[in-house]
Amino acid sequence: MSKYLRPDDLRRLARYDIAAQLVVEGYLSGHRRSRQRGSSIEFHDYRAYSPGDDPALVDWRLFARTDRPYLRTFELETTLECHVLVDSSASMGFGGGGQETKLEYASFFAACLAWLVVRDHDRVSMHLFDEKIRRHFAPGSTRQHLHELTSALEANAPGKPTNLPEALRRVHPMLTRRGALVVLSDFYAPAEQVFAALNPFLHRGFRIHLFHVLSPDELELPDAGLVRFEDMEDASRVTVHTAALRDDYRESMRQHVQSYRRLAASRRVDYALARTDGSFFTLFDRLSA
């Protein structure tokens, strides 16, 4: 059993059905039958080619005859594809106050989410990133695939500095099918840059869920007197008297979170603040709502 798949957690997870939140209209694949056109063994019809369509589906014989590209559509079995991006940068290694680190928190959630998806015979992919994609797992639905994912999570450690927009840009071409995109990060990048990087996904019809993982200490800036803080990503230091900054810091953090929330609301992106001092099951509550 994986570190991140605890029996108690799995028993609790059994009650959750998150498919409704993760199902994406358009390219649906999986055991949910759908009349939506897609690729399968049963030919359904031809349709005109649109930019972004898979060129492999182009009927070249018809193209030779008509000199126009057309796709063969098939009646597909709907299969959920869930793509999980886990921020594994240095900042995710922060725990604060002896609590589990943000990466552990995210890993627990990612593992359980993967288990749920595989349980329903849907496909899940996982991408571990910092300033670039460190590890990439193509979508799969087998237990072996789940094991590989959880093993990768267990072996994962906070790495280099974050570059979430860049990681999203690199992940985008890897995701051949649209589905649900779940991003687990501390989102220290400016919200505008991140959402600019998410635009291609939105354009392709991904259903995006952003989970902003932060520790209570990051949110509140505990009163520790005169402290020299060292940035976990670039090792820079700054000396502050926390009491003098605390209230202003909290306000700045609130505004930072609000900026993500505002942009998410405007783009129909699901956004939630995930405090590491709380249970990750609240996120599943949100997904199954």
Partner 1 sequence: MNLVLGSPQLLAGLALVAGPVLVHLLARARPAVRAYPSLQLIRQVMRRTLRVRRPHDWLLLAVRTLAIAALAAAFIRPVYFGATPLAAAGEKKTVVLVIDRSASMAATEGAQSRFGTAAARAIQLLESSGGSTAANVVWIDAQPAGIFAEPGPNRAYLVDVLNRAAAVPQPGAAESALRLAFEQLRTAEGAKEVFVLSDFQATAWKNVPLTPPPGVRLVPMPVGASDLPNMALTDFRAQPAAPVTGQPMQLLCRVRNFSPEPRRAVVFFEAGEARQQRAVDVPAWSDAEAAVSLPAGAPGDLPLRASLADDAFPGDDAAHSLAHVRESVRLAVAGASTSPSIEPLTALGGAIPWLSARRIEPADALTAAADILFVSDWDGQNAPAFRDLAAKGTAVILAPKNGTPAVALADALGVPATPAAPALTAEAAPAKPWKVALASESHPTVALFRTGEFGNPFAGTFRQRLRFSAPPAPATVLAGFPDGVPGLVAGPRLADAKNAAPLFVWNLPLAADASTWTQEPVFVAFFGELCRTSLPAAAGVPGETLPGTPLRFVPGPQVDPHDLRLLAADGSAVEITPPSLPGGPFLSPPAVPGSWRWMARDTVVQHAWCNFPDGESDLRRLDPGTLTGATAESVASRAAMAAERDGWPLWPWLALAGAVLLWTESGLAAFGKKSPVPTAPAVS
Q: Applying CB under 8 A, which residues contact partner 1?
A: 90-92, 94, 102, 186, 188, 215, 218-221, 224-233, 236-241, 243-254, 256-257, 273
Report the distance separating Cα 1 and Cα 111, nearest Å: 11
Please tell me the distance from the alpha carbon of residue 276 to that of residue 270, in angstroms, as a whole number.
19
HSE on the CB side for 134, CA within 13 Å? 22
Residue 176: phi and psi, rounded to 5, are -75, -25
Closest distance to partner 1 from the beta carbon of 242 (Å): 9
Residue (198 or 214) nearer to partner 1, CB: 214
CA distances from 55 to 28, 59, 197 (A): 18, 9, 24
Compare residues 104 and 186 and give the one whose CB is closer to partner 1.
Answer: 186
Nearest distance in Å: CB 221, partner 1: 8
Q: Specify the 3-state DSSP secondary structure of 61.
A: helix
Residues constituting the chain:
289
Integer angstrom CA distances of residue 106 from 52, 111, 142, 210, 284: 32, 8, 22, 12, 12
Nearer to partner 1, 226 or 265 (CB): 226
Transcribe 79-107 into DSSP letters: --EEEEEEE-SGGGG---TTPPPHHHHHH
Residue 69 or 161: the one with the smaller Cβ distance to partner 1 is: 161
Question: Taking the complex as a whole, how short is the minimal distance between the CB of residue 86 and partner 1, in angstroms?
Answer: 16
Q: Nearest distance from residue 184's CB to partner 1, in Å?
A: 14
For partner 1, the closer of residues 53 and 247 by Cβ is 247
Nearer to partner 1, 40 or 258 (CB): 258
CA dist., res. 198 & res. 219, Å (int): 25
CB 228, min distance to partner 1, A = 5
Shortest approach of partner 1 to residue 232 CB, angstroms?
A: 5
